[in-house]
């Protein structure tokens, strides 16, 4: 791929704007040499205005989503993309969330521009576990763990039972729940069906990948080892 197209696809500007940046000498290698449009310089050695380029296509990142942000690129109000560099909104291929968290749910949210990886994570065949912690409105009744693990629980308006889920009681109103599928508002609907209400909800892990070292509202790029933990 020509250098102009590569940098434009990363969101630094139109091809015309990137060509102008090349002519001005704003795009260099790590030794400070001005690059030309036909340069074969490795991605990791290219600087734009003395800063390394954003990650190459195929990236996966983990965001610690705060409450109050919507998983959309077009809705009004605060969007998860507001927490990322502005250029990430216009990357090609498109940077998409891997699944969603509703506006009032916080925690681990993955993004990628790799469609194959996205479908690998969300495929029902993968059964990637997602771990949530919830604060409930009322104390547990005591039968929730058995109900959720039964494999026979039906949500309102659905005809297919939920896959078994594991409930760990942290105290009378706090729980940890592991799901192996991702239905719409699933955790909230499960507790509603059990006669309770979720006041606070956070996703702490996708697979074995947690939020260690990622503060609320911050993100980090995942290396191959971190990506592998999603499928552990």
| Torsion of the alpha carbons at 19, 25, 26 and 29, rounded to the nearest 10 | 110
Angle, alpha carbons 205-100-126 (nearest 5°): 60
Tell me if 134 sits within 8 A of 187, measured CB to CB: yes
Helix, strand, coil percentages in the chain from 3-state DSSP, rounded to 5: 25, 25, 50
Residue of 167, 161, 223 lying closest to 191 (CA atoms): 167
Give dist(CA 118, CA 86) in Å, integer: 22
Give dist(CA 24, CA 20) in Å, integer: 6
Tell me if 185 sits within 8 A of 102, measured CB to CB: yes
Residue 102 known to be catalytic: yes
Catalytic residue among 102, 137, 143, 171: 102
Q: How many CA atoms lie within 13 A of 89 on its CB side?
A: 12
Tell me if 109 sits within 8 A of 80, measured CB to CB: yes
Indicate which residues carry an active-site annotation: 102
């Amino acid at each position: 791929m020509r250098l102009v197209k590569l940098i434009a696809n990363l969101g630094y500007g139109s091809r015309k704007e990137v060509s102008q940046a090349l002519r001005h000498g704003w795009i260099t290698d790590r030794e400070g040499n001005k690059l030309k449009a036909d340069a074969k310089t490795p991605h990791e050695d290219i600087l734009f205005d003395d800063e390394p380029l954003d990650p190459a296509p195929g990236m996966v990142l983990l965001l610690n989503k705060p409450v109050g942000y919507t998983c959309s690129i077009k809705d009004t109000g605060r969007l998860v993309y507001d927490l990322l560099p502005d250029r990430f909104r216009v990357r090609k291929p498109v940077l998409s969330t891997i699944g969603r968290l509703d506006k009032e749910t916080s925690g681990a949210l993955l993004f990628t521009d790799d469609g194959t990886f996205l479908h690998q994570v969300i495929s029902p065949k993968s059964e990637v576990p997602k771990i949530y912690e919830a604060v409930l409105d009322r104390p547990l009744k005591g039968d929730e763990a058995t109900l959720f693990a039964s494999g026979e629980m039906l949500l309102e308006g659905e005809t297919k039972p939920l896959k078994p889920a594991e409930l760990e009681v942290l105290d009378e109103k706090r729980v940890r729940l592991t799901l192996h599928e991702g239905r719409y508002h699933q955790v909230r609907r499960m507790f509603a069906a059990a006669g309770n209400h979720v006041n606070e909800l956070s996703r702490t892990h996708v697979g074995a990948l947690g939020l260690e070292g990622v503060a609320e509202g911050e993100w980090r790029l995942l290396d191959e080892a971190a990506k592998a933990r999603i499928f552990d």
